Amino acid sequence: MASGNTSSDTLSILFDILKFLLPSVFVFAAGYFTVKKFLDTESKRRLAEIRLAHQNVVTPMRLQAYERMAIFLERINPNILITRTYKSGMSSRLLQSELTKMIRTEFEHNLSQQIYMSNHSWEMVKTAKEEITKLVNISSSKLPATATGVELSQTILQISQQIEKLPTQVALEYIKKEIGQIF
């Protein structure tokens, strides 16, 4: 009988241990899942705060990039570009060189803005820059080497007037449309 008593004592002890252990396991599990849910929620809240802070920093930078590229496009518009660049007595070749240099310098000054613009907007700006440079070079190639800067200016403006929409106008319209969609 002693052995029967021992096994019942062992079972009794085991049940006593389980009576204390099982509720502890349930309390631990409930606490664990409650803390986990709290930490997950807190993590999501912090991530949302970071995104909002990031957006508050990036949005003005994006807007500034679009503004700077709009200014760039205005500055390389042939009428404005010639007015800003031409000096009395310039030869056609010198004016061509100065115009293309001005376009390139303005563009290089704004290269970093591509980070904040859509790829399509940036491509439109690059295309406008390349097309205006071509316009200057084609206009120059139509003139003799002895032509004056005034003659080159007139040729550029005449060719510009024959184009329904200058590439700078097309790019500027697209940028304005995109800004309207974003902001």
The answer to whether position 19 is within a domain reads no
Altogether, the residues listed in the chain come to a count of: 183
The answer to whether position 55 is within a domain reads no
Counting the structural domains of the chain, the total is 1
What pLDDT does residue 96 have? 98
The answer to whether position 116 is within a domain reads yes
The answer to whether position 54 is within a domain reads no
Query: pLDDT tens across 129-182, in order?
Result: 999 999 999 999 999 999 999 999 999 999 999 999 999 999 999 999 999 988
pLDDT band at 1 (very low <50, low <70, confident <90, very high): very low
Query: What is the distance between the alpha carbons of residues 68 and 111, in angstroms, rounded to a whole number?
Result: 10
Q: How many CA atoms lie within 13 A of 97 on its CB side?
A: 7
What dihedral angle (degrees, nearest 10) is formed by the CA atoms of 127, 83, 117, 178? -90
- For 92-121, give one letter per residue: b (16+ CB within 10 A) or e: beebbebbbebbeebbeebeebbebbbeeb
The answer to whether position 4 is within a domain reads no
What pLDDT does residue 50 have? 79
CB 121 within 8 A of CB 170: no
The answer to whether position 130 is within a domain reads yes
Task: Show the tokens assigned to 55.
Answer: 């957006």
Helices (H) and strands (E) in the chain, counts: 6, 0
Closest among 3, 169, 176, 182 to 79, alpha carbons compared: 169
Q: Which of 11-25, 73-87, 90-104 has the lowest mean pLDDT?
A: 11-25
Domain containing residue 92: 62-182
Query: What is the distance between the alpha carbons of residues 68 and 159, in angstroms, rounded to a whole number?
Result: 27
Q: How many CB atoms lie within 10 A of CB 130?
A: 13
The answer to whether position 71 is within a domain reads yes
The answer to whether position 172 is within a domain reads yes
